[in-house]
Amino acid sequence: MDPTAIIDSYVADVMRHLPRRQRTDVALELRSLLDDELAGRAADAGRPADSSLAMQLLTTFGAPRDVADRYRPAGFTIIRPSDAPRFTWIALGGVALIWAITLPAIMLGVIPVTGWDYGANTWWGRLTVWWLGPGIGALWWPGAVITYTLIGALAEHRRESRPKAWTPTPPQTIDRDLISRPGTVGAIAAGVLGATVVIALPWLASWAPWLPEPAITALTLDPDFLQWRAPWILPLWAADLILYVIVLITGRWTVPTLRTRSLLSLAGAGLLLWWSLVGPVFVSPTTDTTARILLAALAVLTATDAVLAFRRSKSTSRNRSFPAMH
């Protein structure tokens, strides 16, 4: 078979996968490239170009659809390859977090099963209720992440379509352990204010008599919770306050303060989880259900902060042990 006919047939197959407006130019370029490559291979082999050399060349060059993709104009990228792992972690991690909060809450009875009589008091009945509710319902999160990513990709594509000069920026050394003193002061003030409000909650009717009676009733704390479980938060808050004052004075996080933060966060996560699982927090069932779900979510976030603080302390310790050479 004539090698030229083989190449012409291959080029025609490639053209079928391209827009019509591109076909003429791409066909000329591709045919010229293949002819030159075939001539080079024939010269290396010391014999005239034949069908065998042509078939070897086309096998190396690739399938027509793949070759067409190389010539096809690139559209805008929704998820860059470098961002794919992070996107996957955010999408699947959000689903896992929702499941980690809602599944124990339903299985342990924190969220009451209503409108489901058959098997409502069995583990498989609660598992079914969870799967048909928050289990499948958690899949809204990947959809929201994809929608947000698509909107961001469209906006970035519009920005990149305008020519803009680019100049490289010199590398910057970022000290992650330095703190913003105004930000730390604001965090301390917010923490003290929040703790004050929570501590004053049992006397809500006295310092906020203007509130309607249903609101006061809904925010009434359970007496057993107030007597046995609530007081443990006070030494934890005091230790947190002392820690952040020390960090404010030194102006940076150190290995001891980071590890202290990790321990306090771990203790806080355990306390919040204890509050959520052991018994009622509020007298009102509706308020109590909502509060215990929020406490479980806060426990997960606080435990995450404990892990991050500990890992950061190890990184800081390593950097101090092996200073950069200049």
Query: pTM for the whole thing?
Result: 0.49
Sign of the C-alpha dihedral, residues 123, 126, 128, 130? negative
Nearest to 104 by CA among 277, 305, 317: 277
Domain match, 153 and 216 both: no
Contact 97, 77 (CB under 8 A): no
Tens digit of pLDDT at every position of the chain (326 positions)? 688 888 888 888 888 888 888 888 888 988 899 888 888 888 888 888 888 888 888 888 888 888 888 887 666 667 777 777 888 888 888 889 888 888 888 777 766 666 555 556 677 777 877 888 888 888 888 888 888 888 877 777 666 666 555 555 555 555 666 777 777 788 888 878 778 777 878 877 777 778 788 888 888 899 888 888 888 988 999 999 899 989 888 888 889 999 999 999 999 999 999 999 988 999 988 889 989 999 999 999 999 999 999 998 888 776 655 444 44
Task: Give CA–CA dist 24/11, Å, rounded.
Answer: 11
Last residue of some domain: 30, 51, 71? 71
Residue 94 falls inside a structural domain: yes
Residue 117 falls inside a structural domain: yes
Check residue 102 and give its pLDDT.
84
pLDDT in tens, 34-92: 888 888 888 888 888 888 888 888 888 888 888 888 887 666 667 777 777 888 888 88
Residue 36 falls inside a structural domain: yes
Domain match, 196 and 272 both: yes
Domain count for the chain: 3
Domain match, 17 and 88 both: no
Domain match, 48 and 111 both: no
What is the three-class DSSP state of 216?
helix
Residue 76 falls inside a structural domain: no
Check residue 136 and give its pLDDT.
87
Domain match, 221 and 268 both: yes
Domain match, 197 and 309 both: yes
Domain match, 122 and 251 both: no
Residue 235 falls inside a structural domain: yes
Domain match, 273 and 185 both: yes
Check residue 326 and give its pLDDT.
41
Domain match, 99 and 151 both: yes
| First vs last C-alpha separation in the chain | 66
Using CB atoms within 10 Å of the CB of residue 54, give its burial: 0 to 12 exposed, 13 to 18 middle, 19+ buried: buried
Kindly list the distances between the CA atom of residue 176 and the CA atoms of 173, 263, 271, 313, 325, in Å, as whole numbers in the listed order: 9, 20, 29, 11, 19
221 beta partners: 282
What is the three-class DSSP state of 221?
strand
Residue 54 falls inside a structural domain: yes
Domain match, 63 and 89 both: no
- How far is C-alpha 283 from the chain's CA centre? 36
252 beta partners: 178
Residue 174 falls inside a structural domain: no
Check residue 324 and give its pLDDT.
44
Contact 265, 303 (CB under 8 A): yes
Check residue 145 and give its pLDDT.
85
Query: Which residue range(s) make up the domain with 51?
Result: 3-71
Domain match, 34 and 110 both: no
Domain match, 185 and 298 both: yes
